[in-house]
């Protein structure tokens, strides 16, 4: 991280001719449990990881925001009173959207020079977009000093993604990027935004994220379709259970009682979500007892359900899960994020990590012809100040 901060400071000086007054981070995330439960107002269990977006900034005397992306080696400028969607430099829309909705929330912003650099793999399901949104929002909060709670800043990031960029995501990604805690997972109730930290002792078990290198080409259209199917399931359940507003309100016993009245595909989607919420709740209990073996079984069940009932897997994900589960020291493997490509997440015994990495790289490449990117992750703090003058 020290080297990245130094490089960002140098690039900031090269582009803007001065030093940033503050540098912050917004981490990426991996969801240990809670596949497609967030937009069903259910429960999720993500961790913030040691892959992140760092952002440096310095206030200006005008209302112009100049943003340089070290990843794209491009600078854009816009005025705070005229923030429009950029169809050319689309990466900048995550920045623009956050600033637009901060102002809509009544925050008096000021122009600034900003440089950002990220090492969250794009399109992998580790939420590089939320990392940018939270890094930028937190950066401006530090530079200007306005008061805003962590949950409220997460909601600003979600609005930017939903209403400015146009991707209809739930709240999990921005929430964990802002509020993550080192050596803990975060249990989040996506309806109430109530949350709690669950200990995640990685001294003998490591989180290994494996990028299949299959980009998620179908995720937008299929994601929207899954949402509609879940909304239909909730509407039908509300006929029999008037208190149902979303699938989060349907318990396992309720589902089993009424499932035969649902259309086949809608039933499959609902079954996954209802049981996935139950798996998240059970996961919190077993993690608090330190039972990683049982947690691994629950993670495996989550993947199998996402594959068979929610149907969001693909050949590359299945190849990776199969290889990871068969590797020495592996306790489990499941898809991460929305599916249709991207990453898997595995729990691996610490003494077997190097052997696991070599085995997965060789055998996944042999099965698919793709060269995977593998990350040994730790559970980290959410948005944080890294350096300031």
Please tell me whether residue 211 adopts helix, strand or coil conformation.
strand
Catalytic residue among 31, 173, 211, 387: 173
DSSP bridge pairs for 117: 54
How many other C-beta atoms can be found within 10 angstroms of the C-beta atom of residue 251? 13
The DSSP bridge pattern shows strands 384-388 and 22-33 to be antiparallel
Cβ-based burial of 14 (10 A; exposed 0-12, middle 13-18, buried ≥19): exposed
Among 125, 133, 118, 120, which residue's Cα sits nearest to residue 164?
133
Please answer whether residues 57 and 140 qualify as being in contact, where contact means their C-beta atoms are separated by less than 8 angstroms. Answer: yes
Q: Could you please report the per-residue DSSP string of 104-148?
A: HTT-----EEEEEEE-SPTTTTS-HHHHHHHHHHHHHHHHH----
From residue 114, alpha-carbon distances to 67, 78, 142, 355 in Å are: 5, 12, 13, 41
Q: Could you please report the per-residue DSSP string of 265-315?
A: HHHHHHHHHHHHHHHHHHHHHHHHTT-HHHHHHHHHHHHHHHHHTS----H
Structure-block tokens of residue 220: 């937008």
Among 303, 297, 338, which residue's Cα sits nearest to residue 320?
303
State in Å, rounded, how far the first CA of the chain is from the last one. Answer: 18
Rounded Cα distance between 197 and 110, Å, is 35
Rounded Cα distance between 131 and 174, Å, is 7
**Is 173 part of the annotated catalytic residue set?**
yes
Rounded Cα distance between 176 and 302, Å, is 20
Q: Kindly list the catalytic residues.
A: 173
């Amino acid at each position: 991280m020290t080297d990245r901060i130094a490089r960002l400071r140098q690039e900031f000086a090269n582009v803007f001719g001065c030093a940033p007054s503050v540098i912050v981070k917004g981490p990426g995330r991996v969801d240990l449990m809670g596949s497609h439960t967030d937009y069903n107002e259910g429960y999720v269990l993500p961790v913030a990881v040691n892959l992140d977006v760092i952002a440096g900034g310095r206030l200006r005397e005008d209302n112009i925001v100049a943003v340089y992306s070290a990843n794209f080696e491009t600078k854009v400028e816009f005025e705070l009173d005229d923030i429009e969607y950029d169809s050319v430099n689309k990466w900048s829309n995550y920045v623009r959207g956050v600033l637009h909705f901060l102002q809509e929330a009544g925050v008096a912003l000021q122009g600034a020079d900003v440089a950002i650099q990220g090492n969250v793999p794009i399109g992998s399901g580790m939420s590089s977009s939320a990392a940018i949104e939270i890094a930028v929002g937190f950066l401006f909060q530090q530079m200007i000093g306005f008061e805003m709670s962590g949950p409220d800043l997460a909601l600003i990031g979600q609005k930017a993604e939903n209403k400015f960029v146009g991707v209809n995501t739930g709240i999990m990604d921005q929430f964990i990027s802002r509020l993550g805690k080192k050596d803990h997972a975060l249990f989040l109730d996506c309806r109430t935004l109530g949350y709690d930290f669950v200990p995640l002792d990685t001294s003998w078990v490591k989180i290994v994220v494996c990028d299949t290198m299959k980009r998620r080409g179908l995720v937008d259209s299929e994601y929207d379709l899954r949402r509609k199917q879940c909304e239909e399931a909730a509407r039908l359940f509300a006929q029999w259970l008037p208190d149902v507003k979303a699938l989060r309100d349907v318990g396992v016993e309720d589902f089993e009682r009424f499932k035969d009245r649902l259309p086949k595909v809608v039933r499959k989607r609902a079954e996954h979500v209802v049981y996935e919420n139950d798996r998240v709740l059970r996961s919190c209990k077993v993690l608090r007892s330190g039972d990683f073996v049982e947690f691994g079984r629950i993670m495996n069940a989550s993947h199998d359900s996402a594959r068979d009932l929610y149907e969001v897997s693909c050949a590359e994900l299945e190849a990776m899960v199969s290889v990871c589960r068969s590797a020495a020291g592996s306790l489990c493997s499941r898809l991460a994020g929305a599916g249709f490509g991207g990453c898997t997440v595995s729990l691996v015994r610490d003494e077997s990590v190097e052997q696991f990495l070599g085995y997965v790289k060789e055998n996944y490449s042999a099965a698919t012809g793709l060269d995977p990117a593998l990350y040994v992750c730790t559970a980290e703090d959410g948005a944080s100040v890294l350096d300031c003058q």
